[in-house]
Amino acid sequence: MNYSKGSKKRLFKNKSSLSDNSKLDGVKSFDLPLTTCENRCMLSNKFFKICYAENNQNQRRPNRTKKLIHNLQLIRSSKFVKVLSYEVRNFNKIRFFSSGDIEDGEQLRKIMQVCKIRHDTKFVLITSRDDLLLQAVQTKQTKPENLQIILSSGLIDEPVPQFEKDILSPFGVQFSHITTDKKTATCEASKSGFCGDCSDCYQKPADQTSTSKKDGFIFSLHGNNNTRKIKKYGNKSRAEIMKDYQQGNGSALQTVQNHAKTQNQTKQNQTKQTSKTQTRTTARTARKAQNQTSKTQTRTTAPQPVKA
Ligand code: SF4
């Protein structure tokens, strides 16, 4: 991509859209406001109120707020691919998102385009939008090799359900969930606060060193206060909140279950249609064959003209 001096001025206006995050050991992230993810995350203020980004005071600093709004406008605009692929040109690794999430399939496509352009950079996209990933599978899109997509489970202590894994694995999606049992966590940063030598998030499964082959990335729910909060929140038990989440419109699990139901329904309808057509065809063929046989029989049994 070429950038003239004039176009750079118009596109960037001296605003960087990348952020530093101490946990990521120097890896820059592209972040969005929490309004883009709070409906679909159990940690958010709508459910257990233990979102790390929300509880980080830096999140509310005026410069941070301005950056997040700028990023939201950017990813919704047609300039996103050009601007971001220029901004990430000198980095080995980039993370989408340490706060926020994609809002629609168009934004997912734009992110994949940036990754294709910057094929030497390793990217990770951490998302709860299984519905949008499903759309990408259905529309036969291709995930760039240098982009790892990690789908977060909608529930705490429960991995992404197997049926969902079966649908999304062929697209190259990896899976993650949060555990309240620190011993089972595989992500170093969620235990110690830093990635250190680990770079599993940016690697293909074959190259990962600490990720669980069976359950993918397991992040520890840290903070005693947070563990206490999810045991009982307000007047509701954890089970009740999880149930509310699963039944809510924004629920990640519910969305994909609805998709799976629709897909099953479509398959069943198609099968019914095919068997109806087959039955009709068989009946028609049988009728034809019968007509043919009786015609032949009539010809054979018809009286022969008497020769003079
Ligand atoms: S899995 Fe590894 S690279 Fe990813 S956040 Fe955890 S420590 Fe960092």
Residue 301 has pLDDT above 70, yes or no: no
Per-residue pLDDT at 306 exceeds 50: no
pLDDT band at 143 (very low <50, low <70, confident <90, very high): very high
Percent of the chain predicted with pLDDT > 90 = 40
Closest residue CA from atom 2 of ligand 1: 198
Bond preceding residue 96 cis, omega within 30 of 0: no
Please identify, by atom number, the ligand 1 atom nearest to the C-alpha of residue 201.
4
| 8 Å CB contact between 62 and 129 | no
Is residue 278's pLDDT more than 90?
no
Ligand 1 mean position, distance from CA 217 (Å): 8
Q: How far apart are CA 53 and CA 50, in angstroms?
A: 9
| Mean pLDDT, residues 220-237 | 71
What percent of the chain is predicted at pLDDT more than 70?
Answer: 80
Residue nearest to atom 4 of ligand 1 (CA): 201
Does residue 112 surpass a pLDDT of 60?
A: yes
Say yes or no to pLDDT of 308 above 60. no
Residue nearest to atom 7 of ligand 1 (CA): 195
For ligand 1, which residues put their CB under 6 angstroms from it?
187-189, 195, 198-201, 217
Residue owning the nearest CA to atom 1 of ligand 1 = 187
Q: pLDDT band for position 48 (50/70/90)?
A: confident
Range 18-39 average pLDDT:
87
Question: Looking at residue 11, what is its pLDDT?
Answer: 58
Tell me the best of 201, 207, 213 to mutate to test the pocket of ligand 1, counting ligand atoms within 8 Å of each CB and taking the most: 201
Take atom 6 of ligand 1 and give the residue whose Cα is closest: 187
Tens digit of each residue's pLDDT (9 = 90 or more) over 169-208: 999 999 999 998 888 999 988 888 888 888 999 999 889 9
Phi, psi of 147 (to 5 degrees): -115, 120
Nearest to residue 52, comparing CAs of 18, 21, 75? 21
Lowest mean pLDDT among 133-137, 196-200, 284-288: 284-288
Q: Classify burial at 218, counting beta carbons within 10 Å of its beta carbon; exposed 0-12, middle 13-18, buried 19 or more.
A: buried
According to the model, what pLDDT value does residue 304 have?
53
Which ligand 1 atom sits closest to the C-alpha of 189? Answer: 7
Q: Please give the pLDDT value at position 8.
A: 59
CB of 210 within 8 A of CB of 221?
no
Q: Which two tokens stand for residue 271?
A: 């099968």
The arrangement of strands across the sheet holding 217-220 comes to 18-20, 28-30, 93-96, 122-127, 147-156, 173-179, 217-220
Handedness of CA 159, 35, 55, 248 (dihedral sign): negative
244's CB contacts (< 8 A; 6+ apart) are: 47, 236
Ranges 206-210, 290-294, 303-307, most confident: 206-210
User: For residues 194 and 190, what is the distance between their CA atoms, to the nearest angstrom?
Assistant: 7
CA distances from 156 to 81, 108, 134, 174, 242 (A): 34, 25, 22, 17, 8
CA of 1 to the centre of ligand 1 (A): 31
Instruction: Determine the atom of ligand 1 nearest the C-alpha atom of 202.
Output: 3
- pLDDT band (50, 70, 90) for residue 290: confident
Residue 191 half-sphere exposure, CB side, CA atoms within 13 Å? 14
Mean pLDDT estimate for the chain: 83
102 pLDDT exceeds 80? yes
pLDDT at 234 over 50: yes
- Whether the CB-CB separation of 144 and 119 falls below 8 Å is answered with yes
State in Å: Cα 98 to ligand 1 middle.
Answer: 12
Distance from residue 8's CA to the centre of ligand 1 (Å):
34
pTM for this model (two decimals): 0.78
CA of 123 to the centre of ligand 1 (A): 13
Centre of ligand 1 to C-alpha 186, Å, is: 8
> How confident is residue 224, by pLDDT bands cut at 50, 70 and 90?
low
Q: Looking at mean pLDDT, say which of 16-20, 121-125, 269-273, 279-283 comes out highest.
A: 121-125
- Ligand 1 pocket test: pick from 200, 219, 222 the residue with the most ligand atoms within 8 Å of its Cβ: 200
Determine the Cα–Cα distance for residues 114 and 118; give it in Å rounded to an integer: 6
The rounded distance, in Å, linking the Cα atoms of 299 and 287 is 18
Question: Which has more pLDDT, 305 or 51?
Answer: 51
Structure confidence at residue 232 as a pLDDT band (50, 70, 90): low
Give the pLDDT confidence score for residue 133 in this predicted structure.
Answer: 93
Contacts of 20 (CB under 8 A, 6+ apart): 26, 28, 29
Distance of CA 293 from the midpoint of ligand 1 (Å): 75
Q: Which of 217, 218, 219, 220 to mutate to test the pocket of ligand 1 (most atoms within 8 A of CB)?
A: 217
Please name the residue whose Cα sits nearest to atom 8 of ligand 1: 195
